[in-house]
A and B are shown apart, each in its own frame.
Chain A
Amino acid sequence: SQTIHQWPATLVQPVGSPLSLECTVEGTSNPNLYWYRQAAGRGLQLLFYSVGIGQISSEVPQNLSASRPQDRQFILSSKKLLLSDSGFYLCAWKPTVNSPLHFGNGTRLTVT
């Protein structure tokens, strides 16, 4: 079966520290992968998407970067976290062109 894994579930990091959030998909090949961020009580903002290995598109200029080192692995990173990076980060993938996005359980990041 097709599943998406995202970790960690929660993370508390000090300002200026690095970040690495990982997302993996199982049971499929060459999926479109997405990173979204959700501020408290707000909608989802698309940060990055990838249509293949090494192919990353950035939607919003920011302190974050993304990488796709393997077909089913999508990583969200930062070299130095800012307070404004706090939020709920969701990884998602899409099986086919017309299918809805399937989301991971999310990572709640608090930058202190």
Chain B
Amino acid sequence: AQKITQTQPGMFVQEKEAVTLDCTYDTSDPSYGLFWYKQPSSGEMIFLIYQGSYDQQNATEGRYSLNFQKARKSANLVISASQLGDSAMYFCAMRGYIKAAGNKLTFGGGTRVLVKP
């Protein structure tokens, strides 16, 4: 079974500062992928960044970076230089590639980020 935990239900961040969103996971799958999605108030799910379990380097996409610590089973998202448009719900998700049938994506409960001007 796969489990994703996001312990921060909500947080404020000052505009232009960096923010770290926590994500821990649990899986018995030897090969897996970790994803972060952004959900603004409109409801759409926007893919942000991906990290494979065997990737040697932490993933980066523009202002987004993923702090992947495999031994700790954590995949925290770092947003640098926060902008007002970053205010949204953020979801961590995981997919197992060997044991999980159907390549299902399991989501955490989400973290709501509000950027203050």
Binding site for B on A (CB under 8 A): 32, 34, 36, 41-46, 49, 51, 57, 59, 88, 90, 92, 94, 97-98, 100-103, 105-106, 108
Contact = CB atoms under 8 A, between A and B. Distances in A.
Interface residues of B, number: 25
Q: Is the interface of A mostly helix, strand, loop or mixed?
A: strand
B44 A57 contact: no
B43 A34 contact: no
B109 A101 contact: no
Contacts, number: 57
In the A-B complex, the 3 residue pairs with the smallest Cβ-Cβ separation, listed nearest first, are A103-B45, A44-B107, A43-B109
A97 B97 contact: yes
Contact of A43 (B35, B97, B104, B107): B107
A106 B43 contact: yes
B7 interface: no
B110 A42 contact: yes
Contact of B33 (A49, A51, A98): A98
Contacts of A43: 6, 91, 107-110
Contacts of B108: 43
Contact of A106 (B35, B44, B91): B44
B69 to A, nearest CB: 21
Interface string B85-117: 000000101000100011111111110100000
Interface in B39-98: 42-45, 47, 50, 52, 91, 93, 97
Contacts of A41: 110, 112
A34 B105 contact: yes
